[in-house]
Amino acid sequence: MALIVQKFGGTSVGTVERIEQVADKVKKFREAGDDLVVVLSAMSGETNRLIDLAKKISGDGQPVPRELDVIVSTGEQVTIALLAMALIKRGVPAVSYTGNQVRILTDSAHNKARILQIDDQKIRGDLKAGRVVVVAGFQGVDEHGNITTLGRGGSDTTGVALAAALKADECQIYTDVDGVYTTDPRVVSVAQRLDKITFEEMLEMASLGSKVLQIRAVEFAGKYNVPLRVLHRFKEG
């Protein structure tokens, strides 16, 4: 039995039907005996929609950073609750938490906060009780109780940070490609998929524009030696 942290991005949870598919996948892992923490992004396009609303009402197109965090953090609340409901419907005990509820403590740099500490006790208690824990990615809370967000792509960082805090066996990042390639396989037909890559090599690729993993997530994984696996969201293998 393994402890696995799985992260699903916005396209994986972009519709109710896709959230149902994620629930089916999570159920399979649970039935195999694994303990699971699932980190979700907002539905595809939702964060941009919320940012646009904030820009429109701010007048100058520069929303107050603290209030922007309050509004954009709501996107993940929708997906985590829907996935928890979908799992419960399938007979899988589940509970959803925002970054604040888990107590993902960050600094106060709104819109680009860094994770300082994670209180893992609540999650461990739920896992021990047999629940799948569904956590909102991309967000946390500072020492003053203000909602913070981690910057675009921050859900990857949430997933890796939780895996580090929980000493998980691995962190699985589900995306729309089935691994890390030498170059973008959607652009270059002869791109080769890599079976394994070091953290240092992945950092270099990320710094050169590879969008498979967020740079900060790779840094976190390297620092805490978290095995990262990149998988296609709906293909096996």
Tokens of 62: 């520069």
Q: What percent of the chain has pLDDT over 70?
A: 100
Q: Averaged over 175-202, what is the pLDDT?
A: 83
pLDDT reading at 237 higher than 70: no
pLDDT 10s digits, 106-163: 999 999 999 999 999 999 999 999 999 999 999 999 999 999 999 988 999 999 999 9
Residue pointed to by tokens 């009780």: 129
CA torsion angle 221 225 227 230 (round to 10): 20
Q: Identify whether the C-beta of residue 37 lies closer than 8 Å to the C-beta of residue 133.
A: yes
pLDDT 10s digits, 1-25: 899 999 999 999 999 999 999 999 9
What pLDDT sits at residue 220? Answer: 86
**Is 91 buried (19+), middle (13-18) or exposed (0-12) by CB count in 10 A?**
exposed
Distance of CA 145 to the CA centre of its chain: 21
pLDDT reading at 101 higher than 80: yes
**Which domains does the chain carry?**
3-176+216-232 (3.40.1160.10)
